[in-house]
Amino acid sequence: METLFSRAGPQQPQLRRCRCSGGGGGGPAPALAPPCRLARRMRAAPVAVLGTQSELSEDEERAREARAAVTKRIKALGEQRRLKEAVQELAGLSKIGVQPDARAATALVAACARAGNMEMAESVFDSLFGDFLRPDEVAFAVLLRGYGARRPPAWGDMDATLTRMRARFGLEPTAVSYNALLDVCVASDDADRALDVIDRMADDGVEPNEYTVAAVARKRSLRSYLRKRLG
């Protein structure tokens, strides 16, 4: 059965497992806390049981503020490619009895992807999402953009990511995913594949948004085709 990226050649989609025990295919693993151990710490984080509703609300508010602050610091560290410290930030939540949310976990995946370390991004994703946290489409789009930043783009891995998003988590791609794909197509000057992406959007009834228009803004032929197929 032909997939969206089947023309990419012999590269086959692969779903990777956590590489905490070793380096994996791309060279030696960085000296970071193993993601699976990180997930165990998060699951083991003590959660205080308080007696009154007001106390519970106050505790929930403190946890929300702690997660937001950690997410902000992880994003800043990701921009500086300081992965070890970004991992430590997320792990630090367990020390104060707070479990991370999907937003904080996604920020850590994005930090790894920004640094070009997709093996670590995959391991963090696999360790934190699934039984522990439920990913949303934004988390998968982070992986798509990370694979797309490779040269050449890792279309097989991107296809596998979309398949897993649908099959395991029941998430259908919206403009969030398709915009990531179009960004990669434009950045890699792959107009033919971009046309296929637009066709798939139209066939699946996916509505474009302003980011879709921005993704193809530099390519006149793609702008015209987007208007033709999606209005």
Q: Same domain, yes or no, for 140 and 56?
A: no
Residues 215 and 189 reside in one and the same domain: yes
Residues 6+ apart with CB under 8 A from 202: 229, 230
Task: State residue 132's pLDDT score.
Answer: 84
Is position 226 within any domain?
yes
* pTM for this predicted structure: 0.80
Establish if 129 belongs to a structural domain: yes
For residues 30 and 126, membership in a common domain is answered with yes
In a domain, 55, yes or no: yes
Is 63 in the same domain as 126?
yes
Same domain, yes or no: 129 and 30: yes
- pLDDT value, residue 141: 98
- 140 lies in the same domain as 64: no
Residue pLDDT tens, the chain, 231 long: 345 554 434 343 333 444 444 443 344 444 455 565 666 665 555 544 445 556 568 889 999 999 999 999 999 999 999 999 999 999 999 889 999 999 999 999 999 999 999 999 999 999 999 888 999 999 999 999 999 999 999 999 999 999 999 999 999 999 999 999 999 999 999 999 999 999 999 999 999 999 999 999 999 999 999 999 998
Residue 57: predicted pLDDT: 86
pLDDT of residue 56: 61
Pair (32, 124) in one structural domain: yes
- Could you say which of 117, 133, 149 is where a domain stops? 133
Report pLDDT for 110: 98
65 belongs to a structural domain: yes
What pLDDT is attached to residue 82?
96
Q: Are residues 224 and 157 in the same domain?
A: yes
Domain endpoint, select from 116, 133, 150? 133
Q: Which domain-ending residue is among 75, 102, 133? A: 133
DSSP 131: T
Clarify whether residues 96 and 71 are in a common domain.
yes
Question: Domain limits at 216?
Answer: 136-231
| pLDDT for 231 | 84
In a domain, 1, yes or no: no
Predicted pLDDT of residue 44: 56
DSSP 22: S
Does residue 67 form part of some domain? yes
pLDDT tens profile 208-228: 999 999 999 999 999 999 999
Regarding whether 141 and 122 lie in a shared domain, the answer is: no
The terminus-to-terminus CA distance of the chain in angstroms comes to 29
The contacts of residue 30 (CB under 8 Å, 6+ apart) are 83, 84, 117, 120
pLDDT for 37: 63
| Residues in CB range of 181: below 8 A, 6 or more apart | 4, 144, 148, 158, 197
Q: Residue 72 has what DSSP assignment? A: H
User: Does 86 share its domain with 120?
Assistant: yes
Query: Domain tally for the chain?
Result: 2
In a domain, 195, yes or no: yes
Are both 35 and 125 inside the same structural domain? Answer: yes
Q: Is residue 11 part of a domain?
A: no
